[in-house]
Structure 1
């Protein structure tokens, strides 16, 4: 009965959240545009699937992803695991950032894998490929964004372990972004900025947020409210750098290849 009650509460909350969106869309369609949309039945049927999908997804977050992310953080930061062979009392009094290398590796891999599976990023990559006429590769963009997220989350976990103020990291990161913007191909700059936003979506955020909270709760001297949040900012910032770097490297390689072709033609 408790499970059924949770399903009902989540479904009811999803309906409450989605109804205003539907009211705005259909209100403009019928009151402003004053035209009946084509395939109205299919659209309504799609809304039903949206409600079902969102409800199941939210239940999955609550029952699986949030507990899993926190559990992994607790296990990886357990003094018995980090300081194998040392006394637990000594381990609790010693915090060395290098002892948490498994946390950084897990953060890197989970950031990379969740970003690759991010539906919003896949949609943006497909559209960018279509609009650019194939100049922007789907997998190239996805891998560049995923690498940026992975590096950002790993660095964010390092910040939680050592307890550094987050604002210095974010300020330094945006200084790098501004400098890169001046040199990156103009075509890629808006896409790089959007890529930072699409990473903070349905798959990445739950695990990353749970990881940050779990890590701050288990590292001695950390406050979950102050140190537990902020990983999402790293996940949004670093993809901008990685996408622009990917475009700059691609442009450099294209110029080098063109120069080689020209030199070969001139020599013949």
Structure 2
């Protein structure tokens, strides 16, 4: 109970800032209907409880299972076993991601199952690439350069309106189920690698985010869809407290079913894995089962809260701000929300915890978190600027990725891995259920093209942390070199005295 209390307190500190911002806006320049604000507050409560349960469940179940499977796969003698099992894991975990089903429903030009299976195959293939990278000690930045060059080549042959869909898919498929499992799996694989380098623990999510982008671009080229438009979100409206209670009571079982179906492939795969490999003891199995229940309950509450409570509030705020005569306020308001809302993404806490554990605190958790917050804040500023001006997303995406890849040659490899992993981590359920409806509401209010101007916000959220976290690495490298230079200039007696003091 103590650990659960700690997790809920952590979730409270993450969700409270964005809740206060929404309440402040509602009390001043964007007064909300009472039903919408009550839906939001109820959603915030579910969000806090759900995040606490999910975080505890990820520690107890997702992390040890992923790490254990990663270690077992690397220990297989026959390469074909490693490749086949890794591919199947990537595909199963991706099919289990709820956000992928949402994406498939929003692209009516391509059959849902065709899109889901193709994206799952793409993630499975790039999970194999991630395994081979660790096994053969391939530098992550060279793989990223090659694959992103191929992506931008495919963009040249894709429909203009399909590009935002493709880049958004890279963010939504690395969600709350996929990220903890894949990151732990990468840690397990890296623990048995020959080099034992810190950067081997990162880059798994980064590479798996590439697969969906390429898959959707290829599907767009093959299918030649006449209409790449998204199906609009269904925004729940409530006028009375009875409507609010009914909304949550009706939708909670639906999300419970969705999460059950999402987790089922992982559970089946894990049970088959345990049956053949006997990796975990009975005591560990009991702990994992309890953790899986926490994960299930947490995800159900979290997804219910963000979809029912946060989506109407985001849509209303975007529309209200953009309708003002001084609608430029949409840009700073979006930046402030972006800074705080990323703290409420469940996978962000998983990444920060892994960074601190693997680097033994040499890369502070808070430094990574604030770099991530600044990156998402910049992405929201750019996204809202696009809505007001109609600038095409490629004018930001191409220079952003080019600069991020150039920076990878000037920072330690571990920062490149963390940065590109963070892109998939930051663009989670809250981005899809609060920031995207906010962008759509704003775009509708200014009479813009929702498909080309509002969509792509997930892609922007996934891109800017690549820059800010690598800039953090650059600053830390410069500081460390300066400290080392000053230390080298000291007399040997003083250096020996300082070393004795450190001991």
TM-score category by the smaller chain?
0.7 to 0.9
- Indicate the residue corresponding to 2:6 in structure 1: none
Q: How many residues align?
A: 247
Q: Among 273, 291, 296, which residue is 1:28 paired with?
A: 273
- Cα displacement (A) at 1:120: 1.5
- Indicate the residue corresponding to 2:318 in structure 1: 73
- Indicate the residue corresponding to 2:449 in structure 1: 223
Q: TM-score, with normalisation over the residues of structure 2?
A: 0.46
Instruction: Give deviations 1:60-107, integer Å, cap 9, x for gaps.
Output: 1222111111111011111xxx32xxxxxxxxxxxxxxx433211121
- Cα displacement (A) at 1:165: 1.1
Range that drifts further, 114-123 or 160-169: 114-123
Residue 370 of structure 2 corresponds to residue 126 of structure 1: no
Q: Among 413, 434, 452, which residue is 1:207 paired with?
A: 434
- Cα displacement (A) at 1:212: 1.7
Counterpart contact for 2:391–2:453, Cα < 8 Å: no
- Cα displacement (A) at 1:173: 0.7
Residue 468 of structure 2 corresponds to residue 242 of structure 1: yes
Q: Among 157, 172, 194, which residue is 2:399 paired with?
A: 172
- Cα displacement (A) at 1:240: 0.6
- Indicate the residue corresponding to 1:86 in structure 2: none
- Indicate the residue corresponding to 2:189 in structure 1: none
- CA distance in 2 between counterparts of 1:182 and 1:24 reads 39
Range that drifts further, 6-15 or 37-46: 37-46
Give the match's secondary structure for 1:116.
Answer: helix
Residue 56 of structure 2 corresponds to residue 56 of structure 1: no
- Indicate the residue corresponding to 1:87 in structure 2: none
Counterpart contact for 1:29–1:37, Cα < 8 Å: no
Q: Among 233, 241, 259, which residue is 2:459 paired with?
A: 233
- Indicate the residue corresponding to 2:254 in structure 1: 9
Q: Which ranges of structure 2 fall in alignment gaps of 5 or more residues?
A: 1-244, 495-503
- Cα displacement (A) at 1:37: 4.4
Give the match's secondary structure for 1:135.
Answer: coil
RMSD: 2.3
Counterpart contact for 2:306–2:429, Cα < 8 Å: no
User: 1:187-202 residue pairs with structure 2 within 5 A?
Assistant: 187-202=414-429
- Cα displacement (A) at 1:116: 2.3
- Indicate the residue corresponding to 2:477 in structure 1: 251
- Indicate the residue corresponding to 1:90 in structure 2: none
- Cα displacement (A) at 1:208: 1.7
From the superposition, tell whether residues 130 and 62 of structure 1 become closer, same or farther in structure 2 (CA, over 3 Å): closer
Counterpart contact for 1:112–1:149, Cα < 8 Å: yes
Q: Among 32, 42, 45, which residue is 2:290 paired with?
A: 45
- Cα displacement (A) at 1:44: 2.9
Give the match's secondary structure for 1:213.
Answer: helix
Range that drifts further, 19-28 or 239-248: 19-28
Counterpart contact for 1:160–1:215, Cα < 8 Å: yes
- CA distance in 2 between counterparts of 1:186 and 1:8 reads 44
- CA distance in 1 between counterparts of 2:378 and 2:478 reads 23
Range that drifts further, 107-116 or 199-208: 199-208
- Indicate the residue corresponding to 2:379 in structure 1: 152
- CA distance in 2 between counterparts of 1:209 and 1:37 reads 44
Give the match's secondary structure for 2:362.
Answer: coil
Instruction: Give deviations 1:124-166, integer Å, cap 9, x for gaps.
Output: 1222122222210100011011101110111111012100111
- Cα displacement (A) at 1:35: 5.9
